[in-house]
């Protein structure tokens, strides 16, 4: 039987998702609902196979290898696995520079 993990959204990642949905909803509330549903479904799959994501290359080059990512184009979802819990830590536009996003986040 496969290990079952619990998925938790860190507050900043939850705020990222809210910001994305609000932005898209300005033009199309229906599209915003579809996107949030798709992201939440894919994130929910981490309960069974959290190792499916790749190590984040921008972080790995600095020796930080505990974060993984997967893409729901154009968004990158970053997460960390800790024992039996998967923490979603960031939802960001994959077209933006991830290092800039993370720098701004830690400088808040």
pTM over 0.85: yes
Q: What span, in angstroms and rounded, lies between the C-alpha atoms of 37 and 58?
A: 27
Contact 85, 6 (CB under 8 A): yes
Predicted local confidence at residue 62, as pLDDT: 87
Render the chain in DSSP notation, one character per residue.
Answer: -----EEEE-HHHHHHHHHHHHHHHTT-HHHHHHHHHHHHHHHHGGGT-GGGSEE-HHHHTTT--SEEEEEETTEEEEEEEETTEEEEEEEEETTS-HHHHHHHHHT-
Q: Which of 72-76, 80-84, 102-106 has the lowest mean pLDDT?
A: 102-106
* Assigned domain for 1 exists: no
Encode pLDDT of 16-74 as tens digits. Answer: 999 999 999 999 999 999 999 999 999 999 999 899 899 999 889 889 899 999 999 99
pLDDT for position 107: 63
Q: How many domains does the chain have?
A: 1
Q: Is the pLDDT of residue 7 over 80?
A: yes
CATH number of the domain where residue 20 is located: 3.30.2310.20
Domain assignment present for residue 68? The answer is yes
Question: What's the rounded Cα separation, in Å, for the pair 10 and 21?
Answer: 17
Does 23 fall in a domain? yes
For residue 28, the enclosing domain spans 6-106
């Amino acid at each position: 039987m496969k290990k079952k993990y619990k998925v938790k959204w860190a507050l900043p990642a939850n705020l990222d998702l809210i910001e994305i949905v609000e932005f898209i909803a300005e033009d199309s509330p229906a599209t915003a609902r579809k996107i949030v549903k798709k992201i939440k479904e894919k994130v929910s799959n981490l309960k069974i196979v959290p190792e499916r994501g790749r190590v984040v290359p921008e972080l790995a080059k600095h020796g930080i290898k505990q974060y993984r990512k997967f893409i729901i184009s154009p968004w990158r979802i970053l997460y960390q696995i800790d024992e039996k819990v998967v923490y979603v830590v960031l939802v960001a536009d994959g077209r933006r520079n991830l290092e800039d996003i993370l720098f701004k986040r830690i400088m808040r």
